[in-house]
Amino acid sequence: MRIAIVHQYYLGPGDAGISRFNEMAHMWTAAGHDVTVIAGSINHHTGEIPERYRGRLLTRERDGAVDVWRCYVPSAYRRSYFGRRLGYIVFTLTASFAAIRSPHADVVIATSPPLVVVVPGWLKAKLSGWRTPWIFEVRDLWPESAISTGVVRRGSLQARLFYALEAWACRSASIVNVLTPGFRDDLLARHLVKPSRLTFVPNGGDLATFRPGPRDNSVRREHRWGDRIVALYAGAHGRANALGQLIAAAEIIRTRPDILLVAVGDGPERASLEAEAARRGLDNLRFLGAKPKDAMPDYINAADIGLAVLQRKATFRTVYPNKIFDYMACARPVVVGIDGVTRTLVCDEAQAGLFAEPENGPAIARAIVELADDLEKRSTMGRRGREWVEANASRESLAARYLDIMLNLANRPMSATGASERRIDEA
C-alpha cells in the first residue's frame, strides 16, 4: 500500500518535538508499505530553516525508507503570530505543489494542526484517483484552540473561514481520526461527523526509547542538579502553555532549596518567561531551551517529577499532551495542570499523578511539594504510569491499529468505508 501523510511538523533528524508520525511511518515502511510525507521546511520549535532547504521551494529527501518532501515555509513563521498566519498560507501552496509532484497514494492522511493541511491532503487524494480515501486527523481542535488562546478573535472573518474549513474537512474525509475522547465529544456535539465515520488512534508512548533509566545520569551531572528533587516541564513555550504558572509556583517553592523546576523546550514566549524569572530572582527555575529528541529520555529520567500544564480554557479539557506519555513511559509521576480528559487518564485511570488546578501557582506548588516529600508515592505512581502505557498506549500497537484502518479503507469502495472503521466508542 502507498501511504501519503501531510504533516507540516514532521520532525527532521535530531529535531525536538512530537515524533508520532516519524515512528509510525518507519513502522509502516518496515511492514512493507511505501510512505511519502509532505512536511514543512522550518523547525517548529527553533524557528530555524536548515541550510539544505534554504532558497528551495521543495526539497526531496529520505528519512530511512520514508520519502519526505520538505515544502518552503517563510522564516517569518517564527517571528510573530502574523508571521505564523503567513506561514500557513505559504505552506498550503507549497504543500499543494508537493501533492502534485509526489507519487500517487492509495490512502492519504492529513493531520491537523495546522488546519490548512486538509487542502493539500484532499488534493493529494483526488490526484491519486477520485475514489482514493483520505483521513482527516484531529490532533487539536482548530480554530477553537486558537480562539481560546487569543490568537484568533471569535467571530472574525478568519475564525469563520477556519470553522468552515473544519466542517468541510469533516464532511469530505473518508473518516476522521481523533486523538482524544474529548475531540470526539466536541465533533459529535456540533454534528460535524457521524459516529460511524470516527476512529480513535490516540497519542502513545515510544516504549523502546522512553523507558525507566538511572536518575544519576549524564544530564543530572552536566547540569549539577545534585540530590535536588527536579520537577521537569518538557514541551512548547507558547501562549497556550501558560508557563507563567511555573514562575508563580517557583516563587512559592523558593523557600525549598531542595526542589528545582526545569523547563526544556522553546517557543515564542520563552524569552519573556526567562526575563520575568530573572526579574524575580528565581534561581530555582531554569530554562534549558530545546534539546534533541534522542536526549529527552535522559532528561526525563534525570528528573523526579513530570509537569504538564496548559491554560485554563475549556478547549484544553479535550487534549492529551504527548509529554504525559513520555513521563509515564519513563516511570515518572506527573503533576497535571490540565483538567478534563488528561486529568482522567493520568490521575484516575493510570493513577500516575496529582491534579493541580490550571494557572493556579499555589496549587501546582503544593502538588510538587507533596510528591517531593514522598518517595514512596513517587515510585508507586511512576510504576503505575509505565504499566498503563505498556497496557494501553504503546506506539507499536497504535501504529498497527492505524494500519488496519488504512488497509480497510484502501481495499473497500468509497461507499462502504463506514463499515471498515473501528468506531471510537469501541476503541
> DSSP string of 225-293?
-TT-EEEEEES--SGGG-THHHHHHHHHHTT-TTEEEEEE---TTHHHHHHHHHHTT-TTEEEEE---G
**Rounded distance between C-alpha atoms, residue 26 and residue 38, angstroms:** 15
- Provide the pLDDT for residue 87: 83
Quickly tell me which residue has 523546550 as its cell: 265
Cis peptide before 103 (omega within 30 of 0): no
pLDDT value at residue 48 = 80
Cα distance between residue 141 and residue 186, in whole Å: 9
Q: Residue 330, exposed/middle/buried by CB under 10 A (0-12, 13-18, 19+)?
A: buried
From first to last of its 427 residues, the chain has per-residue pLDDT tens of: 999 999 999 998 877 777 889 999 999 999 999 999 999 998 877 778 888 988 899 999 999 999 999 999 988 777 676 777 788 899 999 999 999 999 999 999 999 999 999 999 999 999 998 899 999 999 988 888 888 877 788 888 888 999 999 999 999 999 999 998 889 999 999 999 999 999 999 888 888 889 999 999 999 999 999 999 999 999 999 988 999 999 999 999 999 999 999 999 998 899 999 999 999 999 999 999 999 888 999 999 999 999 999 999 888 998 888 899 999 999 999 999 999 999 999 999 999 999 999 999 999 999 999 999 999 999 999 999 999 999 888 888 899 999 999 999 988 644 333 333 333 333 3
CB 114 within 8 A of CB 142: yes
Domain boundaries, the chain: 2-204+394-426, 218-392
Q: Which CATH superfamily does the domain covering 218-392 fall into?
A: Glycogen Phosphorylase B; (3.40.50.2000)
Distance between first and last Cα of the chain? 24
Q: Do the beta carbons of residue 39 and residue 11 sit within 8 Å?
A: no
CA 352 – CA 358 distance, rounded (Å):
18
Q: What's the rounded Cα separation, in Å, for the pair 307 and 314?
A: 20
Of 5, 24, 323, which Cα lies nearest the Cα of 137? 5
Looking at residue 395, its pLDDT comes to 85
How much is the pLDDT for 292? 87
Helix 20-30 / helix 395-410 crossing angle, nearest 10 deg? 60
What span, in angstroms and rounded, lies between the C-alpha atoms of 268 and 273? 10
Fold match between 2-204+394-426 and 218-392?
A: yes
The answer to whether 207 and 391 have CB atoms below 8 angstroms apart is no
Residue 386 identity (one-letter amino acid): R
Strands 229-234 and 34-40: unpaired
Architecture of domain 2-204+394-426: 3-Layer(aba) Sandwich (3.40)
Beta bridge partners, 97, equal none
Starting at the edge strand found earlier in the chain, the sheet holding 353-355 runs 285-289, 259-264, 229-234, 305-309, 334-337, 353-355
Peptide bond into 143 cis (omega under 30): yes
Tell me the three state secondary structure of residue 418: helix
Q: What is the pLDDT of residue 412?
A: 62
